[in-house]
Structure 1
Amino acid sequence: MQMFANPDVALEGLRGCTVGIEAEGDFRRDLEWLATRIGCEPLALPAGVRALYHASAYYVGPFLIALLKEGVELWKSFGASEADALRAMMPLLRGTVAAVLDGGLANGMGGCVARGDVGTILKHLRALDERFPSSGALYRELALRNVPLGIERGTLSAPRAAEIEQLLLRTRSELLAAS
């Protein structure tokens, strides 16, 4: 799995990449041998899952870039440049990846959902809903997916998780009306 936006950059990072192979018999063995020869890790895929395998890459490739773009646009709204925003976000991104590599998905996650900080989540939602409704909707969806990770991490209790879920399920108009 590798992003090929710039082939030179992609080739530098190819060693250690996983290569999904959906093939049988000698052809599969030949492809596995080729993958190993170029320094990649072959992964035999069951028949019929190649589309899911490929789609999964979008979550940590192009979709990650879309999330970075969301963050950049928020920074631009208060006068920062794209370069300023990316310079500020890259240490956070590297630290997040390092935390996941160190402790796994749940233990690598921090932030207001993981710690059950309803007040901060409410502030985030109000700010986003007021100025960037589509970003507020995306925030809700992603934060809802963080709730089970916070519970698994052990920093979010079930009652607080339910409270956060209820808050996240409230609509933009409900929150703005309650302000």
Structure 2
Amino acid sequence: MNSAGRLDVAVVGAGRVGPVLGAALRTAGHRVTGITARTRQAAERVEALLPDVPWIEPEDAFTADLVLLAVPDDVLGPLVTGLAPNVRPGQLVVHTCGLHGLGVLEPAARHGALTLALHPAMTFTGTSLDLQRLVGAAVAVTTPPVLAPVADALVREWGATPVAVADADRAVYHAALAHGSNHLVTLVAQALDAARAAVGQDAERVLRPLLQAALDNALREGDAALTGPVARGDAGTVATHLRVLGDLDPATAATYARLARVGADRAQAAGRLTPTAAAAVRTELTAGEP
């Protein structure tokens, strides 16, 4: 360990997350002693964010005080199992996956590792822009109570804000983030394609303020933020939308129909749509399904 509580840190994983978090820790005064990088793109990312940090093999990471495992969810378990014999008792082993809690690190814990699960709730680009976006971002923290102060300090050194997530809740936490962010991208991309058919290159300019307002309203008000033909029970408008979208792209029409059905269900449950109006909307949705 360096002076004043500074740590030697090794990063396993040179995708979009590892080099950024390593750079954030280095900015906080820790020393990054090595990082695994196996592709040219990864090497370029490392050089941009962590210049002069040497490439290492994964097993060599365990000479550091803190080993940061920044690898995909499905890779993490086998990786930990394979690397666990290299653990030194008292060593911090941290993973950044959203899906997993502490269970996936149990092989390392059996060899004496102090384990933490820290998942930043943000999308990474793998560039220095992420360092700015980390500031104030939420980080899901799953840790034994005795290590909570350590987790809190690491997250705050990233510039982020810790949010406790119980081990048993990690999967639903991760599913919520993936459902909201990944599916939002698909939805917006489909909306852009349809809008371009009507307004050409002005599609982004037309959609941006509407989508930003809808997101802000939904986060603040939930189902009460729903507007448009489904919330009003305008079944005829829904039918027209399905027809024109089906002509453009059946997949977009199918997405519209599925989400409109869920929207009608939630609007009715919230008392915003009468059963009669909701039934009329569902009838048009069924008739217009691709």
TM-score by length of 1: 0.81
Match in the other structure for 2:165: 45
Q: Is the 8 A contact 2:243 2:288 kept in 1?
A: no
1:32 alignment partner AA: D
Within 5 Å, which residues of 2 pair with 1:1-179?
Answer: 1-5=121-125, 7-78=127-198, 80-81=200-201, 84-102=202-220, 104-152=221-269, 154-170=271-287, 172=289
Larger RCO: 1 or 2 (CA < 8 Å, sep 6+):
1
Q: In structure 2, how many angstroms separate the alpha carbons of the residues matched to 1:159 and 1:10?
A: 49
Kindly indicate which of the two structures has a greater share of residues assigned to helix. Answer: 1
Q: In structure 2, how many angstroms separate the alpha carbons of the residues matched to 1:76 and 1:29?
A: 51
Task: Give the CA deviation at 1:152.
Answer: 5.0
1:71 alignment partner AA: A
SS in 2 for 1:170: helix
TM-score by length of 2: 0.52
Q: In structure 2, how many angstroms separate the alpha carbons of the residues matched to 1:23 and 1:122?
A: 51
Change (3 A) 1:123 1:95: same
SS in 2 for 1:155: coil
- In the alignment, structure 2 segments of 5+ residues that lack a partner are 1-120
2:276 alignment partner AA: P
Q: Is the 8 A contact 1:115 1:150 kept in 2?
A: no
1:65 alignment partner AA: V
Give CA deviations for 1:29-87 in whole Å, capped at 9, x if unaligned.
Answer: 31123224444332222223323322322233232121111011112334613xx2112
SS in 1 for 2:168: coil
Task: Give the CA deviation at 1:130.
Answer: 2.8
Structure 1 vs Structure 2: percent identity of aligned residues?
26
Task: Give the CA deviation at 1:6.
Answer: 5.2
Match in the other structure for 2:64: none
SS in 1 for 2:227: coil
Q: How many residues align?
A: 170
- In the alignment, structure 1 segments of 5+ residues that lack a partner are 174-179
Change (3 A) 1:51 1:123: same
Change (3 A) 1:108 1:79: closer
Q: In structure 2, how many angstroms separate the alpha carbons of the residues matched to 1:162 and 1:152?
A: 13
Q: Is the 8 A contact 1:20 1:44 kept in 2?
A: yes
Higher gyration radius (CA): 2
Give CA deviations for 1:85-116 in whole Å, capped at 9, x if unaligned.
Answer: 112111011211232344x1112221111111
SS in 2 for 1:64: helix
SS in 2 for 1:16: coil
Q: In structure 2, how many angstroms separate the alpha carbons of the residues matched to 1:138 and 1:162?
A: 19
Q: Is the 8 A contact 2:268 2:274 kept in 1?
A: yes
Q: In structure 2, how many angstroms separate the alpha carbons of the residues matched to 1:62 and 1:8?
A: 22
Change (3 A) 1:7 1:148: farther
Let me know the Cα RMSD of the aligned residues: 2.3
Q: Is the 8 A contact 1:15 1:39 kept in 2?
A: yes
Q: Is the 8 A contact 2:155 2:162 kept in 1?
A: yes
